[in-house]
């Protein structure tokens, strides 16, 4: 299908991108890799008045250590995160999650900032960021602010980004040697997760079990109280209300959450 007409502008800096957002107004969208936004535009599920291209801005890309955190620029592509020795050693769950996104073409064009801003509850990176207890840096007309992963995702395909703001970087704790587990159930390779689970450091995040990536808090509490992985996993679906579609009904998704959480926790335990 063909998207609705739109204007196009390429930003030459992050500051310029903010100026363009102010110029084009609330209906403008930022474009980096485009693998989340462009399919929605072709289906007429999104029809921005303007696209502001930030994909080539080097100031918004790259991976570096900052104290006890890793800082990843918003326009860093999934493949660079998956292949980064720094990420593999300091936040291996994130490197693994990035390697699960789509196919090689998508991983070499899609960006972490785009995936997080798109906020699909079935996606790999939002779930991974919640499990890691990470955060995002956001720049806007009033300066820079930080939002935790738990607070950033606010609804289906919705975030706490305000009009005129830009997600500039992602921060995740550096946790070398900490166990982790990652599981997702798909119909075919490269599909969105019917259910996904990421676990590390006592946190358990679930994908496609609600309108946002959610914490399996009952299972987390059980682990903190000394429960075995199997016992804790039995509580993974407590309080969830996943949607039903052609792939799975609510009961099946809740069953998958328990099974995949057990597998993730057993992998985390080593």
C-alpha–C-alpha distance, residues 80 and 63, integer Å: 9
CA 85 to chain centre: 20
Indicate whether 35 pLDDT > 80. no
pLDDT digits (tens, 9 = 90+) for 104-132: 898 999 999 999 999 999 999 999 999 99
Distance CA 50, CA 48 (A): 5
Nearest Cα to 253, choosing from 203, 193, 213? 193
Contacts (Cβ under 8 Å, ≥6 apart) of 167? 74, 113, 116, 117, 136, 137, 138, 161
Structural domain total, the chain: 3
Based on the domain organization, do 240 and 220 belong to the same domain? yes
Domain boundary among 112, 140, 173: 173
Shared domain for 158 and 90, answered yes or no, is: yes
159 and 235 inside one domain? no
Is 1 a domain residue?
A: no
In 3D space, the residue among 72, 179, 197 whose CA is nearest the CA of residue 130 turns out to be 197
Q: What tens digit of pLDDT does each residue of 157-179 get?
A: 999 999 999 999 999 999 999 99
What are phi and psi for residue 57, nearest 5 degrees?
-80, 110
Q: What is the pLDDT of residue 270?
A: 84
Of 2 and 23, the structure prediction assigns the larger pLDDT to 23
Q: Are residues 118 and 169 in the same domain?
A: yes
CATH number of the domain that residue 33 is part of: 3.30.43.10
116 and 22 share a domain? no
What confidence category does residue 37 fall into, taking pLDDT thresholds of 50, 70 and 90?
confident
In the chain, which ranges are continuous DSSP H helix? Answer: 14-24, 37-42, 78-83, 85-90, 92-99, 104-109, 112-118, 124-132, 149-152, 217-224, 229-233, 250-269
Q: Please provide residue 137's backbone torsions phi and psi, each rounded to the nearest 5 degrees.
A: -100, 135
Question: What range defines the domain where residue 260 resides?
Answer: 181-269
pLDDT reported for residue 217: 98
Q: Give a yes or no: residue 2 inside a domain.
A: no
| 163 and 189 inside one domain | no
In a domain, 84, yes or no: yes
Whole-number average pLDDT of the chain: 95
Residue 40 or residue 7, greater confidence? 7
Residues 68 and 161 in one domain: yes
Q: Which residues, at least 6 apart from 95, have a Cβ–Cβ distance to it below 8 Å?
A: 81, 82, 84, 87, 88
- Do residue 27 and residue 65 come from a single domain? no
pTM to 2 decimal places = 0.95
**Which CATH number do you get for residue 260?**
3.30.390.50
Read off the DSSP letter of residue 38.
Answer: H
How far is residue 141's CA from residue 232's CA, in Å, rounded to a whole number? 44
């Amino acid at each position: 299908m063909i998207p609705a007409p739109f204007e196009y502008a390429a930003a030459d800096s992050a500051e310029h991108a903010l100026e363009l957002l102010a110029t084009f107004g609330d209906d403008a969208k930022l474009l980096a890799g485009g693998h989340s936004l462009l399919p929605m535009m072709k289906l007429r599920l999104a029809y921005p008045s303007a696209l502001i291209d930030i994909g080539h801005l080097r100031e918004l890309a790259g991976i570096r250590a900052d104290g006890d955190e890793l800082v990843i620029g918003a326009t860093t592509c999934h493949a660079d995160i998956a292949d980064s020795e720094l990420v593999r050693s300091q936040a291996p769950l994130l490197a693994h999650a990035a390697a699960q996104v789509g196919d090689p073409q998508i991983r070499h064009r899609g960006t972490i900032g785009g995936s997080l801003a798109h906020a699909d509850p079935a996606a790999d990176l939002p779930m991974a960021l919640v499990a890691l207890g990470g955060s995002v840096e956001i720049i806007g007309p009033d300066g820079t602010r930080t939002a935790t992963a738990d607070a950033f995702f606010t609804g289906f395909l919705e975030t706490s980004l305000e009009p005129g703001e830009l997600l500039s970087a992602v921060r995740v704790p550096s946790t070398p040697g900490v166990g982790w587990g990652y599981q997702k159930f798909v119909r075919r390779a490269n599909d969105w997760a019917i259910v996904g689970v990421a676990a590390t450091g006592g946190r358990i995040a679930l994908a496609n079990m609600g309108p946002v990536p959610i914490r399996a808090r009952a299972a987390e509490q059980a682990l903190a109280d000394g429960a075995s992985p199997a016992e804790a996993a039995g509580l993974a679906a407590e309080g969830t209300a996943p949607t039903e579609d052609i792939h799975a009904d609510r009961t099946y998704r809740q069953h998958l959450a328990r099974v995949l959480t057990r597998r993730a926790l057993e992998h985390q335990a080593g």
